[in-house]
Amino acid sequence: MEIHVEPCCPGLLLLCGVPFRQGLVPAGGGLQALDTAGQALPLWWTQRASWPDGSLKWVFAHVRLSADSHTVRLLPHDRGPGSEPAGVELEQSDAATTRLQVDGLCFTATAAVWEVRSDRGAQVSWRLAVETAPQQEHGGAYTLEVVEASPLAPLLRLRQTAAQGIRFDHLLRLDPANASVEWQQRSSFLGPEPCSLRHLGTRVALGPEAAEWRFAGAPAPRASLLLPRPGRMVVDGQAEQAGRPPVLLRSEHGSIELVKGWQRAPCGVRLEEGAVAVDFY
């Protein structure tokens, strides 16, 4: 199987599903990933389906790209007993704290806050704030599970199990090679009574050292950017105007980008002392 990658960006992660014809990768066999020059690439994969003879039919793979990954080849490889590569596991330090550590990146979940630390010195913590009309309880305690146990970029799920009120489901992709976290969330309103979402946001605390954050793109606000509806923006509290700027902040330590689906609005970002306030709705 050959996968063509353009443009080729070294260090980025390729996520893909890969089919195999019957018998090509026998039961107990493994896989290897090679770049254009035939050099091995970091690979993690998990079996999603098999043929009647036990051979691989469909796998989901993570591949870390190199500078010469214009073509990525996934080939059979004899691994011996235990075909799938080892994955990461959660650590329960106490009844209220769960962590996952992978290659210099550590995610910690407690009842009060979620936090990611990098051995490069970066640190970020956050938690949701919710306001509805009428006000409803939301979800209760979170459970943490590993959805994709890849040491290259594990995917975690934080989910609530409440049967009434508002329930949140969060997916977090940790990328230790790039010291990054991708956070997606989904909210469900459960119950027979009408309920309106008034505000959904978070305050992202950044540390341990204070950083000077700046908006990227044009225009470049000094303190706040609000997208009240599709195609409109409010810069630093001034008059509303037409525009579709990226919601992107950068500092010497990293960047924060808000990617909002469904017409990219409403949402907003405000700079605060030692933190960034993000309004999803």
Measured from the Cβ of residue 227, the count of other Cβ atoms closer than 10 Å reads 23
Scan for tokens 């790039």, then name that residue.
178
Residue 115 predicted with pLDDT over 60? yes
Mean pLDDT of 63-88: 78
Using pLDDT thresholds of 50, 70 and 90, give the confidence band for residue 79. Answer: low
Q: N- to C-terminal Cα distance for the chain?
A: 43
* Contact of 166 with 135, CB cutoff 8 Å: no
Using pLDDT thresholds of 50, 70 and 90, give the confidence band for residue 263. Answer: low
Residue 80 predicted with pLDDT over 90? no
As a whole number of angstroms, the distance between CA 145 and CA 157 comes to: 5
pLDDT computed for residue 81 by the predictor: 43
As a whole number of angstroms, the distance between CA 169 and CA 262 comes to: 18
Least confident among 75-84, 109-118, 167-176, 260-269: 75-84
Measured from the Cβ of residue 49, the count of other Cβ atoms closer than 10 Å reads 11
Mean pLDDT of 15-44: 91
Tell me which residue of 44, 86, 84 sits closest to 175, measured CA to CA: 44
Residue 268 class from Cβ within 10 Å (0-12 exposed, 13-18 middle, 19+ buried)? Answer: buried
pLDDT computed for residue 17 by the predictor: 93
Using DSSP bridges, classify how beta strands 232-235 and 224-227 pair: parallel, antiparallel or unpaired.
antiparallel
Residue 38 predicted with pLDDT over 70? yes
